Structure 1
């Protein structure tokens, strides 16, 4: 399935990725490519990059693995955030207005509210105070996310920076054989050189702007390979037949 994906994926899929993927992932990829190639505007500086095919192949593989790592990190970050929110959260600030103290006075609140359970397709009664505390916790979490974005910080990159080297390495060493083979196949498809001796001799040259587009595309492919790998594992566990890898880049499972 992964082999089929890397044989057919096209650069145009990047547009769909930008539309569907979380904004922090898209921005993390852009920042990574920019840090690798610099920030000189291509409309004013015509920069060319020359190397041998072997070096370019290694760079492509590394960048694709970075995209794979971003998806793995996002999985873990989302899980960590979901586990950090208790079912009955402690009351917290429901507003960012500094004129008010955290929390609200709920001693006079009584009764319950009705919520619709989509999974069971029936109404469910929830204690009114518990529901208020749940809303307060959600507002507080949103406030923290807005503050981080306001400071220009990327939550995904900040999470990666906080990891110990061993934990960071685990984000890529967990890649299965199918994923690694798919990455190598994709690099071979782009390089167009199969013989190892030719890789060491064949020279290649491109502009910095074009290389940036290629590297960004490779991150998208690496990210999508992890998406497909997880979906395939789920189908295998559930005993479902494997399907053609049609998952658009950036689309969550």
Structure 2
């Protein structure tokens, strides 16, 4: 887990922590001993949902980074112009003379000294920059804000793209974790845990789900670029499952 925290984008790590906190609650464990009891079937559904959330975060990160790259590529000229701009001193030191006419909503056009007008503009820009800095300092998570901005269908697309191999591998992984397989056992087997333990489990599963998307991308590339036989394609979910097990073990 420590390795993931070091390597993953900070906004992804923060988004996962916020999501788990919202699910479990924020009562301090040193003062409140919260115990959660449920049957295996409900826990399995929660575990699958959390893994899919991690999968969704990775997909959202892909799209957000692509969107940002396209936005930057669309403004190459503006960036070059900005590089070529000389560094100017504050407005009062500019060799400017004359007057500027600006519009007043009450009195109409009014004249103002050009140097004074530049000072006003620079003060306004400085205030806007300060506001942007304060907004960034407020701790808004870019990834979560991006997800909030998506339409419901676009949000659904982030998880509906998961292939059959992914879904089958996740479900098999969850059944192995629960050590319960039969439908009757799933409905009757009771699990009890503390809130901190459940939070750690959900966070770990979210990271595993995030990593599964990387595995799926690699497998898809192998299918496209390689000459995978039909026999191999039939057991591709098993390869996915084995990769998932290895990834989960590394994250422990």
Task: Decide: shared fold, TM above 0.5.
Answer: yes
**For residues 66 and 100 of structure 1, what CA distance do their matches in structure 2 show?**
50
**For residues 131 and 163 of structure 2, what CA distance do their matches in structure 1 show?**
35
Q: Let me know the Cα RMSD of the aligned residues.
A: 3.0
Q: How many angstroms does 1:182 deviate by? A: 1.1
1:23-76 deviation line (CA, Å, top 9, x unaligned): 000000000000011111212221110111111110000000000000000000
CA contact (8 A) 1:61 1:184 kept: yes
2:27 aligned residue = 40
**For residues 216 and 2 of structure 2, what CA distance do their matches in structure 1 show?**
22
Structure with greater proportional helix content: 2
CA contact (8 A) 2:47 2:205 kept: yes
2:214 aligned residue = 227
**For residues 204 and 34 of structure 1, what CA distance do their matches in structure 2 show?**
21
**Closer/same/farther in 2, CA of residues 145 and 227 from structure 1, 3 Å limit:** farther
CA contact (8 A) 1:148 1:155 kept: no
> Gapped runs of 5+ residues in structure 1?
1-13, 102-142
**For residues 76 and 90 of structure 2, what CA distance do their matches in structure 1 show?**
23
Q: How many angstroms does 1:146 deviate by? A: 6.5
**For residues 182 and 132 of structure 2, what CA distance do their matches in structure 1 show?**
49
Aligned to 1:90, which of 69, 72, 78? 78
> Gapped runs of 5+ residues in structure 2?
84-88, 92-129, 229-235
Q: How many angstroms does 1:89 deviate by? A: 3.6
**For residues 164 and 220 of structure 1, what CA distance do their matches in structure 2 show?**
25
2:55 aligned residue = 68
TM-score by length of 1: 0.69
Aligned to 2:7, which of 14, 20, 28? 20
Residues matched between the structures, number: 193
1:105-140 deviation line (CA, Å, top 9, x unaligned): xxxxxxxxxxxxxxxxxxxxxxxxxxxxxxxxxxxx
CA contact (8 A) 2:208 2:247 kept: no
**For residues 145 and 196 of structure 1, what CA distance do their matches in structure 2 show?**
54
SS at match of 2:191: strand
CA contact (8 A) 1:54 1:200 kept: yes
Q: How many angstroms does 1:151 deviate by? A: 2.0
Larger Rg: 2
SS at match of 2:165: helix
Q: How many angstroms does 1:78 deviate by? A: 0.5
**For residues 26 and 39 of structure 2, what CA distance do their matches in structure 1 show?**
24
